[in-house]
Amino acid sequence: MHEFFNRQIKLWGEETQDSLQNKKVAIIGSGGLGCSLGIALGASGIGEFAFVDFDEVGVHNIHRQIGFKVGDDGKAKCEVLKELVESRCPYTKVTAYKEGFEEFATRDLEFDLIIDATDNLPTRAAINEYCLNKKQPWIYGSVEEFHGQVCFFEEASYEAVFQINDRKPNGIACPIVMHIASLQANLAIRHLAGLPVKKDILYYLSFDSEGVLQNQKFNLPKN
CATH no. for residue 102?
A: 3.40.50.720
The CB density around residue 19, as the number of other CB atoms within 10 Å, is 16
CA distance 121 to 126: 9
Give the angle 91-97-102 at the CA atoms, nearest 5°.
130
pLDDT score of 12 = 97
pLDDT value of position 71: 95
Domains identified in the chain, total number: 1
The pLDDT value given to residue 209: 87
pLDDT in tens, the chain (223 residues): 999 999 999 999 999 999 999 999 999 999 999 999 999 999 999 999 999 999 999 999 999 999 999 999 999 999 999 999 999 999 999 999 999 999 999 999 999 999 999 998 999 999 999 999 999 999 999 999 999 999 999 999 998 888 777 777 778 999 999 999 999 999 999 999 999 999 999 999 998 889 999 999 999 988 7
Closest C-alpha to 66, from 182, 144, 190, 152: 182
Q: Which domain holds residue 34?
A: 2-219
**pLDDT value of position 208:** 86
pLDDT for position 124: 94
Q: Are strands 48-52 and 93-97 parallel, antiparallel or unpaired?
A: parallel
